[in-house]
Chain A
Amino acid sequence: MLKYFKTLSILCLAAAFLCACDSDFLDKKPQKSLLIPKTADDFQALLDNSDDLMNKTPVLPLVADGDFWVTEPVFQNLYKETKDTYLWSGETQNQLTDWDSPYQQVFYANVALDGVSKLSGEQAGRIRGRALFYRAFGFYQLLVQFAAPYQNSQAQSDQGIPLPLTADVGRILKRSTLSESYQQVLDDLINAIPILEDVPQYLTRPSKPAALALLARVYLSMGEYEKAADFSQQALDIKNTLIDYNTLDTTLAVSFPLPLVSGNPEILYYSRGLTTFFADPAVMVDSTFYRSYQSADLRKSLYFTPSLNFKGSYTGTTFPFGGLTTSELYLIKAECQARMVGVEQSMKTLNSLLEKRFKRTSFRPVTSGSAQQALTLILDERKKEMVLRGVRWGDLKRLNLQQGLAVKLTRSMGGKSYELPANDKRYLFKIPLDELSANEIPQNP
C-alpha cells in the first residue's frame, strides 16, 4: 500500500508543479507578431501605419471637382461610386472608403490618445499631439465631403458628422452640429500645436507647422481670414521653403521626387490619395484649364504631359498628394491679405510663390489694380498651384457662397451633359448605406 502512496504523492507533486507553472504556461502570446498595445512605442507604431492607413486622403472630391475628365470606355469600367461621383448623380452608395478611411484614422488616433493618457513623459506627449492632429485631419476630410460648407449663420443648425473621441467602439454616435464639428477640429489642432515638434522625423508624422497649416486651411474654409492669415504666418515662420521649379526636369515621367525617400522641402505633412485613379492615361486635365497656364509657367510642363495626363503629384508617384505644403500657406496668406489688408501685400506674397514657378528668364511679377482683381488672380493661381492636392472641392464649396465667385460645373458623357450648379445639395456626398443601417443618423439632403 505504501508503494501506491508513493506513486500518488509523486503524481500530486507533478500536478502541483503544473498548477504552479500554469499561469506562465498560458501567458505565452499565441502569435509572435501579435501586439497588445501598451507602451508609447506601441502607440507610435499604430500612428506610423502610414502607407496602409494613416496618411491617406479621400479621392472622390478630386473626381467630383471637374478639373479632370475621363474617356467613355474607361468610364464604363469604373466602380459605381466613382461613376456616380463623376457625374454628380447624388446617389447613395452601399459603402464608401472615403467615409470609412478617415474614421479608421480617427479610431487609431483615439486608441493612441486613450493609451497615452495613462503614460507620462515627453514621448507620450508627442504621441498625444500627433494623435490629435490625425483626428483633426480625419474629421476635416469628412466635413469637406459630407457636410455643408461652414456658414456662421447656419453652423448651429447644419448637420456635422459623428465625432468619436474615445476608442470605445461600442459607443455609436449621432451627427454633431456643423459648429461642434468644426470646433472639435480647431480644438484638437490648438491642443496639438504646443506639444508637437517643429521638424518631424518622417514627413508622415504631424509637426507643429503642419498643425498650423491645417488650422489655417480650416479657418480659411470658415471665412475667418484673420485667423487663417495668422496661422499661415506662424507656420511660415517655422518653415517657408519653396522649390524653385527652374531646378526641376520637365521631361521626367514623374516630375517630383519621392518625398519619403529624397525629401521635398515644400511638404509639411505627407498624405496620399486612396487610389491612383488619375494615373490612367484616359483621365485627362480639362483642356481649358490646361490652357490657362502660361507657357512660361513651369507648372504646365511639370504637372502635365503633352497628352494632358497628370504627372505632377508631390507624392512622386501616380497617387495624388493630399497633405499640406508651404505653397498652400503662401496662397492662404495672399488670399487673406487681398481680402483684408491690401493689394500690395497680397501681390508680394503671391509673387514670392510665383517666382519659383515661372521660368526665371521670363518671370514678371504680377500686379493688380483692385482687391477684387487681386482676389481673382490669387484664386486662379490657387486652383493652378493646388490641382489634385485635395483642396479644390472645399474651395468650390466655400467660394460658391461668395458673390461673383460661384461656378457651375458641367460634364458630358455618352452624348449627355451633366451639370452641378453652385450650392447644389449634391455638393454634400451621401452618407453610405452601411453606416445608416448600423447607425440611424439623418442622411444628407
Chain B
Amino acid sequence: MLLSGVIFRAHAQSTIEGMVISLSDSTILPGAVIKIKGRQVGVNADAAGRFSLPIEVFPSDIIVSYIGFTSTEVHLEGPPAGRFIIGLAVDVNQLAEVVVSTGYQNIPRERATGSFSSVNTSLLNRRVSTDILSRIDDVVPGLITNKGKGNALGLLIRGQSTINSSTQPLIIIDNFPYEGDLGTLNPNDVESVTVLKDAAAASIWGSRAGNGVIVITTKKGGTNRPPHISFNSNLTISEKPNLFYQPRMSSSDYIESEKLMFTKGRYTSAEKNANKYPFTPVIELLIAARDKNITQQQADAQMDVLKTQDIRNDYEKYFYQNGATQQYSLALTGGTEKQRYNFSAGYDNRIAVETGNRYQRYTISAGNTFQLSKRLDLTTNIYYAQSKNVENNPGPLTYTNAITGYTGAPMYPYAQIADQNGNALAIINTNRASFTEASQNKGLLNWQYKPLDELRLADNNTGLTDYRINAVLNYKLLPGLGFGVLYQYGRGITSGSKYQSQQTYYTRNLINRYTSISSAGVLTRPIPLGGIMDRSGSEYTNQNLRGQFDYNKSWKLHELSAIAGMELRDLQRQAETRRIYGYEDEYATSKAVDYISSFTSFINPAASLKIPYLDTQSASTDRYLSYYVNGAYSFKQRYTVSASGRIDQSNLFGVKTNARGVPLYSVGTAWNLSQEPFYHLSWLPALKLRATLGYAGNSNKNVSAYTTASFGSRGDAGTGATYASIQNPPNPSLRWERIKTFNLGLDFESRGRVITGTVEYYHKTGIDLIGQMPYPGSSGVKTFTGNYASTSGHGMDVTLSAKILDKNFKWHSQLLFSQVIDKVKSYAVVSTAAYYLGSGDGGLTIPLEGKPLYSVYSLPWAGLEASTGDPQGYLGKEVSKDYAAMLQIDPSAMTYHGTARPKYFGSIRNTFSWKALSLSVLFNYRLAYFFRENSVSYTQVYQGIVTHGDYSRRWQKPGDERSTNVPSMPNQINYNRESFYALSADRVKKADHLRLQDINLSYTLLRPSASRLPFRTMQLYMYASNLGIVWKSYKGKLDPDYAQASFAPVRNLSLGIKMDL
C-alpha cells in the first residue's frame, strides 16, 4: 500500500521528492518538516504532503517530522529509485515540530516567534459534540470559556483587553474570516485548529485581531491517493436535568407566607385592581373563606393538599426528558497527480433535555485542487450547511403577580399542570379566574391557561442555511516566489417563525384583551380571530478578495520567508421581523389590523391599547480595505527575526482615521539556544527562546466619528412623523482600539522527548479603548463615548507534556496552566457603590479604575443582631444597621474580593493506553475567583413571589444567629435591608474548583495485513462528559460556575464508531 504511492525520484542535481502521510489513517501531512540529519537545512511538505529536498552527498539520512507525530529517520544510500511514502506514527508530545497556520501562510513552528497553540485532529476528536469550539476548551492554554454572569460570560483568549467592544476572537475558516454562525460548521470536517495569541501571531489580522484569532483548517484531499472513506457515528444520551438544583422555598412555607401576607392586607388593593391580576389558589381560598363562600375548615383542608404539591415534579415529568444526540459523518478524500479532492457529508440530530426542543443539521462540503500546470494550481471549495432549531419548550413558567403587576413572576410552587392521568390542568396566568370565566360567558374566547397544552401547541422554529464558495489560484512566478489570488463568497440566511395559533394562550389572551362588547352584545375584535405568526429573518453576504505574494528562499545559512498582499472585504447584513395577525396556517391567509387607533382594554376599560406592531428592519455594511506584509528571516537556524505590518481602512470611521492609516505592526525574535555550539545540556536537547512585541486592533461599530442620529424604524409613537435620535455627538478623533502585547516564550524538550513544554509570559495593554466620559447632564449628553479607556493585563501560559510510561503500557500526561490578570487602567466614569456591588460581577459592564473589569465587591458583614435577627454591617468601624448609609458608601470603601472570572485555570489530561485500548481522562480546574450566592428575598415574600430556599433557615428567635446568617423576616418591605444582606460579604463565596470534565475510552482495531476485513481501521469509543466537581472550596450545594442557572449541566454519555475504509 505504502509502496504504491509516490516516490523518491533522483534529479540530476540530487533533489529528492517525496510525500509524508500519517501511519494511522494514511491522511497526508502537509507542512511536515524534512531535514537532512546533522544539518538544519530543511523543507516543508506542501499542501499535498509533497516535498522536494536538495541533497548534495550520499549516503544521507533524512529526518521527517510533523506536529503530533514521532519523527522518523530514513537512510538513503544514494538518490532513491524506489517508490515509497514516508509514514509517521502519532506522538502525544507534540510541541516540537509544528506547522502553524495563520490563515495567510503556514509557518514551521521552528521558525515561529509568536505564540501559537494548535489542536490536531486526534485531539479534536477526543470530544464528542456538534460544535467545534467546545472541542478546543481545556486543550489550549490561555483559552477559557467563562461561565458566570451576563457580560462576564464567553470565550476569551488571554483575558479581556477591551471594555465596551466585542470580546469575540476572530474566527478564520480556511483563509478567511467567518461571519456566520459557527454552529453550522461540522467538527468532523475540521483538520486542525490553531489559536493565535500574541501580536506576532495575530497582528497579520490587524484591526480585528485584538481578541486573538482562531484559525480553523478543514480537511483536504491528497495527491496520488486512492479514494479513502471514513465514517464516524455516535449516539449521546443526556441525563434529565435536576430541577431541584436551586434551593427554593417549599410549597408549605410559601402557603404559610401567603396566608401571612393576606392577613397583613397585602392583597387588599390588588383585589380592586382594574387590571384584574390573578390570584394563586391559596389567595382565592382565603378570599372565599373571608367572604364566607366556604368555611375555614374547607379552605384549610384544600390548602393542606396544595402544600404537598411541587411544580418541580411536574416540570421533571412533563417539561424535561433524557436528551439524545445522533451524529453521522462521512468523508471521502483522494487524488491523482493532477487533482486532489475531498467530499464530506454530515448529519446531526439532537433531541434536547427540554421537551419540545430539537436541533437538526445537515452539512455537505466538497473541495477540488487542480494542478493546471507545473506553475499553476486552482483550488475550489464549497461548504453548505442547513440546520433547523425547534424551541418549543417555554422554560420555567411565569404568571402575573397580583401585588406588583410583574408579568414574569416565577410560577407559584404548588401549581399543578397535569392531573394523575397526565391530562392538562388550567392554572392562572395573566388574569383572575373569576374574571376570565365571566368573560367567556359573554362570548369571549376561552381564557384558560393550560401549560401542558401550550407545550404541545408551540411551534417555534429557526432555520439556518449557510454556504461558502471559494477559489484559490496559485501561480509560481519564480523559484521561491508565488502569487495567489483568493476569493470567497459566503452567505447565511436565518429564518425564524413563531406560530401561535388561535388555540395558544398568547393569541387567545391578546384577542380577548382588545375585544369590546356593544350594548347589543355584539363582539368587536380589533385583533382578528386566527393565529399570530411572527417571522424573523436575517442574512449576511460576505465577499473577500485577496491578492498575495509569497516568497520563500533558503541559502546556506539563511532562510527568508515573506508575504505581502492586499485584501478587500465586504460584509452586508440585513434583518427584519414581521408579525401577521389572523393567520391561518392551513391556507396561509392573514387579516389586516388597525395599528393606528387605540382600543379600550377589555380587562381595564380605563386603559387604551394599541395593537402591538412588531415589524422592524435593519441593514448594515462593513467594508475593509487592508494592506499587509509579513516576513521572517532565520540565520543558521539559530536566530530568527520576524516582522509584520498591516494597514486597515474601514467605512466604520471617518476620513481622518482612515487617512492617517496607522499601521498595526509586530516584531519578534527567536533564538534556538540549543543549536549554539556552546550548548551542551544533553538532557535538554531542545531549548528555544522567543520574544515578540506588537499591536492588534479591535473595533466598535456602535460609535462613529460624525454626529450620528438614527431614524426610528417606525414613525413617532404619537404623531407618526418620521423622527430621529442622536446616537453620539461628533467625535472626529475616533479610532481603532489597539491592544499592545509583549510575549516571552520558552520551548523545551527533554532527551527522548519524555518531557516537552512551553512556558510563556505575556503583558497586554488595551490602548484607546472605547469608553465613556461622564458629561454633566446640562450639556445634553450624560456620557460621551470615545477612545478614553485603557486596560492592562499580564499572565502566563504553561504547557507540560510527559510520557510517564512509554512501553507496552503507555501513560501520557499533559498539564495546562494559565494565569490571567487584567485590570481597568483608566476609566473616567465613576458609578455609585450600589452599582458596583450589585452588577460589577457581570450583570452589567461597570468598569472601576484599578480593578479587574468584572469583580466581586461586598459590604462588610457583622452578623445578625441577636435580639432581632437584623443583618448588621459596619459604618466605618461601628457596627451598624443604617442600611441606606452603608449602601451609599464611597466605592473606594467597598470590600474587593477578587475577580468574577478565574485568575488561574487549566486542565490535566492523562491518557493510558495498552495495545488497542486507550483511556483518556480530563480534569479541569479554575481558581482564584468569586461568585455571589443567592439567598432569600423578603421583598419577594411580601410580593407573594416564591423566594429562595434559605427562607426555612431564617432567623426566627434569639439564639438562631449562632446557627444561621439568614436575616429574620422584617415587618414590612425594607429594600435597603435586603440589598445590604444580598450585597454583604456573607453572600460572597470562593468559586475555586476542580472538575472531572470528561473521559474517553476507545478501542482501535487495525486491519491485520492479511485480513479481509472491510475496513483499514475501526475504532469503538465511549465518551462521558460533565461528570461533576471533584473538589470545591465553597461548602454549598451549587456548582460555582452555574450559581445562577436553574440546573447544572447535565451528564452525557456517548457511544460511537469510527471506520476508515
**A85 located at the interface, meaning its Cβ lies under 8 Å from any Cβ of chain B in the complex:** no
Residue on A nearest B976 in the bound complex, by CB = A80
**Among B648-656, B756-764, B797-805, which stretch is in contact with chain A?**
B648-656
| Residues 590-637 (chain B) with a chain A CB within 8 angstroms | 596-598, 600, 604-608, 618-623, 625
Which of the four size classes fits the interface of chain B? 35 or more
Residue on A nearest B545 in the bound complex, by CB = A18
**Chain B positions within 8 Å of A171 at CB level:** 779
**B722 located at the interface, meaning its Cβ lies under 8 Å from any Cβ of chain A in the complex:** yes
- From A28, A108, A260, B719 is in contact (CB under 8 Å) with A260
**A261 adjacent to B775 (CB under 8 Å):** no
**A282 adjacent to B832 (CB under 8 Å):** no
**A432 located at the interface, meaning its Cβ lies under 8 Å from any Cβ of chain B in the complex:** yes
| Residues 151-179 (chain A) with a chain B CB within 8 angstroms | 161-162, 164, 167, 169, 171-173
**A2 located at the interface, meaning its Cβ lies under 8 Å from any Cβ of chain B in the complex:** no
**B719 adjacent to A204 (CB under 8 Å):** yes
**Given A11-B547, A30-B701, A36-B707, also A73-B269 (CB < 8 A):** yes
**B1045 located at the interface, meaning its Cβ lies under 8 Å from any Cβ of chain A in the complex:** no
B641 to chain A, nearest CB (A): 28
Residue on B nearest A270 in the bound complex, by CB = B718
**B777 adjacent to A51 (CB under 8 Å):** no
**B607 adjacent to A318 (CB under 8 Å):** yes
**A202 adjacent to B269 (CB under 8 Å):** no
- From A51, A77, A254, A270, B606 is in contact (CB under 8 Å) with A254
| Residues 757-793 (chain B) with a chain A CB within 8 angstroms | 774-782, 784
- From A31, A311, A434, B619 is in contact (CB under 8 Å) with A31
**Chain A positions within 8 Å of B658 at CB level:** 26
**Chain B positions within 8 Å of A76 at CB level:** 972-973
B162 to chain A, nearest CB (A): 19
**B896 located at the interface, meaning its Cβ lies under 8 Å from any Cβ of chain A in the complex:** no
**B269 adjacent to A71 (CB under 8 Å):** yes
B700 to chain A, nearest CB (A): 11
**Among A40-48, A184-192, A333-341, A352-360, which stretch is in contact with chain B?**
A40-48
Residue on B nearest A163 in the bound complex, by CB = B778
Report how far A26 CA is from B972 CA in the complex, Å: 61
Interface centre among A15, A29, A171, A311 (most CB of B within 10 A): A29
**A28 adjacent to B651 (CB under 8 Å):** yes
**A49 adjacent to B712 (CB under 8 Å):** yes
**Given A35-B711, A167-B729, A253-B600, also A437-B774 (CB < 8 A):** yes
**Chain A positions within 8 Å of B776 at CB level:** 162, 172, 434-435, 438-439
**A434 adjacent to B782 (CB under 8 Å):** yes
**Given A107-B779, A169-B729, also A36-B269 (CB < 8 A):** no
**Among A92-100, A222-230, A234-242, which stretch is in contact with chain B?**
A92-100
**A103 located at the interface, meaning its Cβ lies under 8 Å from any Cβ of chain B in the complex:** yes
B291 to chain A, nearest CB (A): 21
| Residues 244-273 (chain B) with a chain A CB within 8 angstroms | 266, 269, 272-273
**A110 located at the interface, meaning its Cβ lies under 8 Å from any Cβ of chain B in the complex:** yes
Interface centre among B597, B620, B622, B776 (most CB of A within 10 A): B776
- From A36, A71, A74, A438, B775 is in contact (CB under 8 Å) with A438
**A32 adjacent to B269 (CB under 8 Å):** no
Report how far A432 CA is from B776 CA in the complex, Å: 10
One digit per residue, 1 when the CB lies within 8 angstroms of any chain A CB and 0 when it does not, for chain B 710-737 equals: 1111001111011111110100000000
Interface centre among A15, A55, A169 (most CB of B within 10 A): A169
**A215 located at the interface, meaning its Cβ lies under 8 Å from any Cβ of chain B in the complex:** no
**B483 adjacent to A108 (CB under 8 Å):** no
**A49 adjacent to B724 (CB under 8 Å):** yes
One digit per residue, 1 when the CB lies within 8 angstroms of any chain B CB and 0 when it does not, for chain A 350-376 equals: 000000000000000000000000000
**B718 adjacent to A204 (CB under 8 Å):** yes
**Given A11-B483, A32-B620, also A202-B780 (CB < 8 A):** no
- From A27, A32, A164, A318, B778 is in contact (CB under 8 Å) with A164
**B568 located at the interface, meaning its Cβ lies under 8 Å from any Cβ of chain A in the complex:** yes
**Chain B positions within 8 Å of A417 at CB level:** none
**B706 located at the interface, meaning its Cβ lies under 8 Å from any Cβ of chain A in the complex:** yes
Interface centre among A25, A48, A110, A435 (most CB of B within 10 A): A48
**Chain A positions within 8 Å of B522 at CB level:** none
A364 to chain B, nearest CB (A): 33
**B778 adjacent to A95 (CB under 8 Å):** no
**Chain B positions within 8 Å of A50 at CB level:** 716, 718-719, 721, 723
- From B266, B272, B651, B722, A48 is in contact (CB under 8 Å) with B722
| Residues 540-587 (chain B) with a chain A CB within 8 angstroms | 547, 566, 568
Report how far A77 CA is from B405 CA in the complex, Å: 12
**Chain A positions within 8 Å of B605 at CB level:** 253
**Chain B positions within 8 Å of A288 at CB level:** none
**Given A22-B625, A103-B779, also A27-B475 (CB < 8 A):** no
**B718 adjacent to A45 (CB under 8 Å):** no
A388 to chain B, nearest CB (A): 16
| Residues 268-297 (chain B) with a chain A CB within 8 angstroms | 269, 272-274
Report how far A318 CA is from B658 CA in the complex, Å: 50
**Chain A positions within 8 Å of B723 at CB level:** 45-46, 48-52
**A35 adjacent to B729 (CB under 8 Å):** no
**B438 located at the interface, meaning its Cβ lies under 8 Å from any Cβ of chain A in the complex:** no
**B477 located at the interface, meaning its Cβ lies under 8 Å from any Cβ of chain A in the complex:** yes
- From B478, B650, B707, A111 is in contact (CB under 8 Å) with B707
Residue on B nearest A174 in the bound complex, by CB = B778
**Chain B positions within 8 Å of A265 at CB level:** none
Residue on B nearest A55 in the bound complex, by CB = B718
**B722 adjacent to A45 (CB under 8 Å):** yes
Report how far A233 CA is from B723 CA in the complex, Å: 33
**Given A11-B483, A36-B708, A169-B780, also A51-B651 (CB < 8 A):** no
Report how far A236 CA is from B710 CA in the complex, Å: 38
Give 14 A-B contacts (CB < 8 Å), ordered by A residue. Answer: A30-B651, A45-B724, A52-B717, A95-B777, A96-B777, A164-B779, A169-B780, A202-B721, A253-B604, A253-B606, A281-B272, A281-B274, A311-B606, A435-B776
Other than A32-B619, A50-B716, give 7 A-B pairs with Cβ distance below 8 A: A11-B483, A26-B649, A31-B619, A52-B717, A253-B608, A318-B606, A439-B776
The 4 tightest CB contacts between A and B, nearest first, are A107-B780, A253-B606, A439-B776, A32-B619
Hey, which bits of chain B sit against chain A, CB under 8 A?
266, 269, 272-274, 404, 475, 477-478, 483, 547, 566, 568, 596-598, 600, 604-608, 618-623, 625, 649-652, 658, 701, 704, 706-713, 716-719, 721-727, 729, 774-782, 784, 830, 832, 972-973
